[in-house]
Structure 1
Amino acid sequence: MRLLYITESAPNRDPVYGDGSSMIPYEILRNLPGDVDVTLLSFEGRVGLPEEIRERCAEVQMLTPRPRAAALVRSLGGLNGAGRQERATREAAELTASLSARADATLIHGPHALFLSRYVQGPLVLQTVDPWSVRTQMDTAIAGRLKAAYRAREFLALRAERRLPARARLLTVGAKDAARWSASLGRPVRSIPNGADQAAQPAARRDDPVVCFVGSLNYGPNIDSAQVLVRTIAPLVWESVPRATFVLAGRRPDPAVLALAGPRVEVAGNVPSVLDVYRASDVAAFPDEHGVGIRNSVREALAAGVPVVATPVAAREQEAHPLLTVVGDPEAFAQRVVEALENRGTGAGTAGPETAGSVRSWQTAALEYLAELQSAIGSAGAGLPARSTSA
C-alpha cells in the first residue's frame, strides 16, 4: 500500500512539547507493517522529526506554517481555529492534492489538519484524538467566564466538521466521543483506542511509599486533578501513611501545579520517560473530574504493572484489569490508595508480565488503522461511498 500520512505536527514523543496529536502518528508509523510505503506530509514546529520516523518513511515533506500572529488575525482572534490557519497555506493544499493523487489512500491526523481533506484525491481516512466540537463542549462546561465566546467556538468547530468530505471514514479514540461525534454529524464514526508500551524492566521502588499522577500538567482538567489529589486525597492518605510521597509528573507544569510542591509533594516536569516514573511508584492515582477521550496515562500505568486507583471519569472506557480500581468518593479513593501502599513489597500490588501485557498494544492499534485504510480503498474501488461503523 502507498500511504500518504498527513499530520498537524511532526510525529514524536517529546517529553516537553509532545502531545496526543504527535504521539499517535509516531506510534502508528513505528508499528505499521513494513510493506506499507509511507509518504509523510507534516509541519515544522518546536520538535524536529525523529530520525527513526524519517527513516521509516519513503518520502518526507515538512512545511513551514504561517506565523502565529497572522494566523490569529485570519481566525477571528482564535475563535475559528488559529492552529488550522497556521497550516492553511497554498503549498500545503497543492502538496496534498499532488501527493494524494499518487497514493492508494490518505490518512489525516489532528483537528488542525482535517481541513486539508478537501484537497485529497482518492480514498480518505480522518482521525482526531478528541473531535474539536466535543473538546469545545467540555471547555464551555468548565469555563468560569466568557461562556458566549466558548459557545461560539463550539458552533464554528461543528460547522467545520460538518463540511468534511462525505466519503471520508472518521476515527477518534474514545467510543463515547465517537458516539457523540456521530450524532452531531449524522454520519458513522469509529473509535480506535490507543495502545501502550509494556514495561520491559522490573520496578525500582524508592524507600518511602510513592503515589504518582502522570499527565500533561498544563492541561486544565489535569491541573484540577493534581489539585484534588494534593489538597483532598493526600491529607487523607497521610493519616494512615505519613511517609507517603506524591509525585506529579508530566510536561510543562502550570504555575498552579508548581505551587503544589512541598516536603511530601514532588513536581517532576518534562520527564524523559513516564515509564521511569511508574517503575518508581507503588500506585498511580487519577482523581479526574473532567475529561474526554480515553486517559492514556491510566493504560500506560497498567502496562507498566502499577496498581491504579481512578475515578469513573479517569477510567472512562478502560477495559477491566486486575490492577485497576475505580472509585468516585474521595474518602474511599484515599482508602484504596492506602491499601495499595500497605501492600507494597508483598507481591499483592504488582503485576507479572502476563498481567501487565494484557493491556492493548500499539501494534494492535496500528493494524486497526491499516484495516480502515484498506476498507476505504475497497469502498472506493467498488464505486461506493466510504463506509464505517459506529463504535
Structure 2
Amino acid sequence: MQELLYLTHRIPYPPNKGDKIRSYHVLQYLSQHYHVHLGTFIDDAEDWKHLDKIKDLCGETCFINLNPRIARIRSLSGLFTNSPLTLSYYGNKELRAWVNTQLETRSIDKIVIFSSAMAQYVRDAQSVLRIIDFVDIDSDKWKQYARTKSWPFNWIYQRESNVLLNYEKQITREFNSATFVSEREAALFKQLVPEIADKVSYFNNGVDTDYFSPQNKHPNPYLNDTRVLVFTGAMDYWANIDAVTWFAHHVFPVIYSRFPRIQFYIVGSRPTNQVKALAAIPGIIVTGSVVDVRPYLIHASLAVAPLRIARGVQNKVLEAMAMGKTVIASPQAMEGIHALPGRELYVAGDENEFIRQIMILLTGEIDAAMGCAARMRVLADYSWSKNLARIDELLVQSLEVPVA
C-alpha cells in the first residue's frame, strides 16, 4: 500500500464541527487506499481522549498540543514579517521536524494538506505530488470579519485577508491541485488565479444519512408543549456567534412577543461569554456542549441558520435537512448548497424576512413534504463516498513541475 502524508490544522476527530467533519471523512477515505501518516494539532483538551480512534486509521502520527491563547500571541509576529498571522499561529518546530523525518525516511510520494495553514510544512517537497484542500477561501472570511469590527481589529483582519490571499495564490501555483468545498467556492477562487484555474477543483461535503435520519428515535429534550427554533454549531466560532447574537436581538424578540411559549435553543460546544449572555433574554436557552445534537434537531419545530458571515458549505444546514427538518437559512448559509428555495428549504435575506417566514410557519402547519424533499436532496447530492472519489482522480495524476 502506498504511503501518504496528511496534515490537518486540527485533529480530525470527533467529527462534531465543520472542519473536523470534512477532515475526518477525508482521513477515513484515504486510509482505505493508502498507508496514511498524520500530523495535526489539538486545541481542545477533550480531544486527547480520541487518539486511539485516529491511530487506528493511521501509520505514524504526530499530535501537537496547541494553546489558543499562546498561539494568538505568537501569531502577532506575522505583523513584522509580512506573512499571514495564520502561519505563525500554526507554526511549530516539533511538527516541522516530524514532517521532515517522514519525508526523509519513508517512501512518501503523495501529500494531502487540509487548510492553508499547514502548507508551510511541505513547501520544499517539490518532488512529491501535493494536493491542498483549502475547503473555503479563508482570506475572504477575514475580509468579512473586517467589515464587522472597529479599529484596530478591522485593520488587522483586512491585512490578514490581503496577505493570506497572496499566500493562497502562491500555494496554488506551487502545488499540483487545490480543492474547495463547493463549485461556487472553486469558481470564485478561479477568478482570482485565472492563469492556473485548471489546478482548482472541488468536492462537496457529505452527510452520514444513516446517522442523521428522521427514522432514528431520540428522547425529547424539550418540554412537550414547547415549540423550538434551534441553531446548532460550535459556539466559539465567530460566524456562529455573530449569527445567534443578531438573531437573538433582532428576530427572536418579535417572534416571542407573538408566541410566548416559543424558545430559541442555541446548541453547541464552548459558548463564549457573549453567547452565554443571550440566555438572559426571555425564551433563549444556551445548552453548551451536548452528547448528541440529533434530539435537538428532530424535536425542534424549525432549524434556523441566520449566518451573516460564511464561506463554503454549512454542515449544520445539511444535517438538519438530512433529519427532514424545515430549515430557514440566510443567503450566506446557502452558499454552496444545491437546494431549491421554497421547495427544499426557505431562504430569508434580512430580519423582516426571517420574522415573516417564521410567523407563517408557526401560525400554520409546518409542511412535512418540505422536510422529505430536503432529505431527498441530501441523499442525492451529499454522499461522502461519491464526493470523495474526486480525491482519487487527483492523487493518480502525474507529477508535474509546479508553476513558480
TM-score range with shorter-chain normalisation?
0.7 to 0.9
Give 1:138's match in structure 2, choosing from 128, 131, 144. Answer: 144
Residues 305 and 356 of structure 1 are in contact (CA less than 8 Å); yes or no, is this contact kept in structure 2? no
Q: Deviations over 1:83-120 (max 9, x none)?
A: 52354344433443443461241101122212123132
C-alpha spacing 1:320/1:111, structure 2 compared with 1 (3 Å): same
Q: Distance in 2 between matches of 1:341 and 1:364?
A: 37
Give 2:202's match in structure 1, choosing from 170, 177, 191. Answer: 191
C-alpha spacing 1:327/1:91, structure 2 compared with 1 (3 Å): closer
Q: Distance in 2 between matches of 1:69 and 1:136?
A: 15
Residues 213 and 248 of structure 1 are in contact (CA less than 8 Å); yes or no, is this contact kept in structure 2? yes
Give 1:276's match in structure 2, choosing from 295, 298, 302. Answer: 295
- Residue in 1 that maps onto 2:60: 59
- Residue in 2 that maps onto 1:265: 284
Deviation at 1:372, TM superposition (A): 2.3
C-alpha spacing 1:68/1:344, structure 2 compared with 1 (3 Å): same
**1:170 maps to 2:178:** yes
Residues 128 and 172 of structure 1 are in contact (CA less than 8 Å); yes or no, is this contact kept in structure 2? yes
C-alpha spacing 1:50/1:335, structure 2 compared with 1 (3 Å): farther
For residues 212-227 of structure 1, the aligned pairs below 5 Å read: 212-227=230-245
Q: Deviations over 1:198-229 (max 9, x none)?
A: 22414655421111012232333322321232
C-alpha spacing 1:196/1:103, structure 2 compared with 1 (3 Å): same
- Residue in 2 that maps onto 1:3: 4
For residues 30-179 of structure 1, the aligned pairs below 5 Å read: 30-32=28-30, 34-46=32-44, 47-48=47-48, 49-63=50-64, 68=71, 71-72=74-75, 74-76=77-79, 80-85=83-88, 87-100=90-103, 102-120=107-125, 121-146=127-152, 147-164=154-171, 165-179=173-187
The SS at the match of 2:372 is: coil
Residues 21 and 110 of structure 1 are in contact (CA less than 8 Å); yes or no, is this contact kept in structure 2? no
The SS at the match of 2:398 is: helix
Deviation at 1:284, TM superposition (A): 0.4
**1:236 maps to 2:254:** yes
Q: Deviations over 1:139-197 (max 9, x none)?
A: 22222222433332223212322332534211122433323333334432222222222
TM-score (norm 2): 0.81
Q: Distance in 2 between matches of 1:231 and 1:69?
A: 30
Q: Distance in 2 between matches of 1:366 and 1:39?
A: 19
Q: Deviations over 1:328-380 (max 9, x none)?
A: 24333223323444566884564387566345133333322333222xxx221
Q: Distance in 1 between matches of 2:250 and 2:277?
A: 15
- Residue in 2 that maps onto 1:366: 388
Q: Distance in 2 between matches of 1:104 and 1:284?
A: 44
TM-score (norm 1): 0.84
Residues 142 and 160 of structure 2 are in contact (CA less than 8 Å); yes or no, is this contact kept in structure 1? yes
Deviation at 1:126, TM superposition (A): 0.5
Residues 31 and 57 of structure 2 are in contact (CA less than 8 Å); yes or no, is this contact kept in structure 1? no
Q: Distance in 2 between matches of 1:320 and 1:85?
A: 38
C-alpha spacing 1:78/1:10, structure 2 compared with 1 (3 Å): farther
- Residue in 1 that maps onto 2:22: 24
- Residue in 2 that maps onto 1:13: 14
Q: Distance in 2 between matches of 1:68 and 1:354?
A: 42
Q: Where does the alignment leave 5 or more consecutive residues of structure 1 unmatched?
A: none
Q: Distance in 1 between matches of 2:239 and 2:117?
A: 21
Q: Distance in 1 between matches of 2:65 and 2:246?
A: 40
Residues 10 and 20 of structure 2 are in contact (CA less than 8 Å); yes or no, is this contact kept in structure 1? yes
Q: Deviations over 1:12-71 (max 9, x none)?
A: 2376xxx43433211222344623321212234433244222101122233466963873
C-alpha spacing 1:24/1:137, structure 2 compared with 1 (3 Å): same
C-alpha spacing 1:176/1:246, structure 2 compared with 1 (3 Å): same
Residues 3 and 38 of structure 1 are in contact (CA less than 8 Å); yes or no, is this contact kept in structure 2? yes
Residues 287 and 311 of structure 1 are in contact (CA less than 8 Å); yes or no, is this contact kept in structure 2? yes
Q: Which amino acid in the other structure matches residue 159 of structure 2?
A: A
C-alpha spacing 1:263/1:329, structure 2 compared with 1 (3 Å): closer
- Residue in 2 that maps onto 1:357: 379
Q: Where does the alignment leave 5 or more consecutive residues of structure 2 unmatched?
A: none
Residues 196 and 360 of structure 1 are in contact (CA less than 8 Å); yes or no, is this contact kept in structure 2? yes
The SS at the match of 1:5 is: strand
C-alpha spacing 1:45/1:267, structure 2 compared with 1 (3 Å): closer
Deviation at 1:309, TM superposition (A): 0.8
Deviation at 1:283, TM superposition (A): 0.8
Q: Which has the higher helix share?
A: 2
Q: Distance in 1 between matches of 2:167 and 2:61?
A: 28
Q: Which amino acid in the other structure matches residue 102 of structure 1?
A: S
Answer 1 or 2: higher relative contact order, Cα 8 Å, separation at least 6: 1
